[in-house]
Amino acid sequence: MTAPAPLPSTDGPRFAYGTNGFADHRLSDVVAVLADLGYAGVSLTLDHHHLDPYDREIGARTRRTAKALRAAGLAVVVETGARYLLDQFRKHRPTLLSAAPEERAARQDLLRRAVRIGAELEAEAVHFWSGTPEPGTTRAQAWSRLEEGCARAVEDADAAGVRLAFEPEPGMLVADLAGYEALAEAVGAPGTFGLTLDIGHCRCLEPRSEAECVARAGGRLAHVQIEDMRRGVHEHLPFGEGEMDFPPILAALRASGYAGLVSVELPRHSHAAVDQARRSIAFLREAAARPAPRAPAAPPATAPTAPPPKEAVPT
């Protein structure tokens, strides 16, 4: 096994922006725009229009992308959440939970390709999630399939020297931090099987505050996604349109020692991508510069859980 490369040290958050929020731009133009706006990185969703992993020339395209990212001074995380890359009729299908073995194999193959691309790009992490069980699939069956798929992904990532970043996603089999922790314990490989923590999801459904979720994640953090959100509603919102207070969140990330990318996740705002990217980095820089108020005492361990999200639709 080749150990994943250590992340660079930093005195503050390293902000990135997701290409799933730039669906109307060429990837080369996304890199240029984000570098010009002062971002430190890009969260790159492999898709038919952005570094298609099934392109016959993917090797050459990946090398050109790596060169462009280095020239722009941008770090990268590779994401695998494209909506219709594997099935033009079914969003986010197939998954590692699919009943048909050939469908699970298709998702596994995508993850394997993503790991290879991540290694070529020197990505800080390769991100993925569980998916949702199909009708007729029991939770036990789904969990067994997920464990098997994650174990294989860990083998591929270990061989490539890449760190995985598994994301709990509202509405999916693994929806929250508790679910990730149970999966991580089952899979093992603590150095490889890291966590993508979407801060908005913490607001949406976790019983603790966003800052407490960061502290709970601790050394498992491999990638962070960020946006605004409201309690109980899974809707990614531009900053200032939700309920979240960002100075304590960014302070908690600094206190945790996390040095990876903090990626803006606005996948439904490609129609205003450049404006949203410009506004987002200005907002986050200002929030990072403000002192966080003293945190209130933590609620008791018996604090009630959050209500289920009103819109549990993966992005």
Tell me what pLDDT residue 306 has. Answer: 44
Tell me what pLDDT residue 315 has. Answer: 57
d(CA 186, CA 41): 32
Relative orientation angle of helices 177-187 and 210-217, to the nearest 10 degrees: 10
Tell me what pLDDT residue 190 has. Answer: 86
Q: What is the 3-state secondary structure (H, E, C) of 48-108?
A: CCCCCCCCCCHHHHHHHHHHHHHHHCCEEEEECCCCCCCCCCCCCCCCCCCCCHHHHHHHH
Tell me what pLDDT residue 12 has. Answer: 74
Average pLDDT per run of 10 along the chain, which is 315 residues long? 42 91 97 98 97 97 98 98 95 97 98 98 98 96 98 98 98 97 94 97 97 96 98 96 97 96 95 97 96 57 45 48
Tell me what pLDDT residue 11 has. Answer: 64
Tell me what pLDDT residue 291 has. Answer: 82
d(CA 293, CA 301): 23
8-state DSSP, 195: E
Angle subtended at Cα 49 by Cα 48 and Cα 53, rounded to the nearest 5 degrees: 45
8-state DSSP, 3: P
Evaluate if pTM is beyond 0.85.
Answer: yes
Angle subtended at Cα 188 by Cα 123 and Cα 214, rounded to the nearest 5 degrees: 60
Tell me what pLDDT residue 4 has. Answer: 43
Is residue 154 within 8 Å of 1, Cβ to Cβ? no
